[in-house]
Amino acid sequence: MADQSSNQMWGGRFAAGPDAIMEAINASIGFDKRMAAQDIAGSRAHAAMLGATGILEPSDVEAIREGLLTVLSEIEGGTFAFSTALEDIHMNVEARLKEIIGEPAGRLHTGRSRNDQVATDFKLWVRDQLDAAEAGLLALMKALVAQAEAGADWVMPGFTHLQTAQPVTWGHHMMAYVEMFARDLSRVRDARARMNESPLGAAALAGTGFAIDRHMTAEALGFDRPSANSLDAVSDRDFALEFLGAASICAMHLSRFAEELVIWSSAQFRFVVLSDRFSTGSSIMPQKKNPDAAELIRAKVGRIFGAQTALMMVMKGLPLAYSKDMQEDKEQVFDAADNWMLALAAMEGMVRDMTANREALEAAAGAGFSTATDLADWLVRELGLPFRDAHHVTGSLVAKAEAKGCDLPDLSLAEMQSVHDGITEAVYGVLGVHNSVASRMSYGGTAPARVREQVARWKEILG
């Protein structure tokens, strides 16, 4: 006869019964152990405050302090035995602390709850990740500025709709990404400033009757102030959502650049050569060099966007204050953080190592009638044509060049004058790509002089 336990509704893995199911669904230690350092930092600050306010005896505070340091060293050394039966990092640490120091461990939880404890730990962890993101963004921006400075006057095609539009400079294109990542850096800094309020001491949801000093613990943990409402403090996950929002926008920027690197490194474009450190070869085609790092960065966006959507769905229907649903707030944030930091580091490495093909860039810059707008502008400036008439004349000249199989500068003066007899030899002065980019002197334009100004500005900002 078949084993009846295998037919139970929870299946083979949970054949031991409902207790096994409950332990598996309730436990978070498998992922929240990543917050061990933050949990111990929060407990040390809380214990010090309990001693300073006279709530705990100095001997208890010292025992707790020493015991927590021992626990931390065990975790960092890899000898700590995590238990799913103890549910989470908080209970695992507290249980081990009791084994080490005995009765004083039970007094550590005075004046707090797991609700404010986990909110504090998670905030500290996210804050650390925001700091890491800031460092990664600064490094990437410096790498881009270095590329821009080296190629401030290298011409390349500027695209709209991935069609050749007007010539730009390599430096100008690199600096466009500096501006994008600068906005990401601003969002990171802004989110960090807004989230820097301490939940510790909010207790379960209503505060505590013990005469604790929340300002002291906030200061000890590097927060600007304690949170002003205990209900909000334990139920707020905006800081995690903002982290994911900033990560998502930045990941989108990284993905756009990654897409360009994939295109640019192809045999059809040959705009850049990526280093072997960030490329792989084909298993059967020896001529191929695949931009795998760029492609993987492009793919990371899905995980990060997904994390933001997942947490929004977790939080969207929760009444105040804490609900167990909020245990599902961490795994996707951890995953998004890992992938964001990895993508930033990989992109910074690719940018530092990549070599732009100046000759290929310049050859492409002049193709596709890229100076047609310069011709139209010349007709307006020099001949006084209304722009719409100049646009029509230029279109006719493009059609003539296209039929002849040449570019605009290759048309003879007679051929140009057959379309408009006012055109003179001076027109050829605006048809070269170098002349074109040099003329774009408006603030924020692609002229090498303007690019060098922006490079100097950002070098001063970035230090």
Active site residues: 161, 282
Pairing of strands 280-281, 163-169: unpaired
> What kind and span of H or E run contains 290?
strand 289-290
d(CA 64, CA 51): 11
Give φ, ψ of 29 to 5 degrees: -60, -25
d(CA 407, CA 401): 6
Q: Say which residues have a Cβ less than 8 Å from residue 197's Cβ, sequence separation at least 6.
A: 218, 223, 224, 225, 226, 227, 228, 233
Q: Say which residues have a Cβ less than 8 Å from residue 436's Cβ, sequence separation at least 6.
A: 166, 167, 370, 371, 374, 430
DSSP 318: P
d(CA 370, CA 231): 61
Q: Which residue has the tokens 């929060």?
A: 42
The answer to whether the bond into 321 is cis (omega within 30° of 0) is yes
Bridge partners (DSSP) of residue 167 are 157
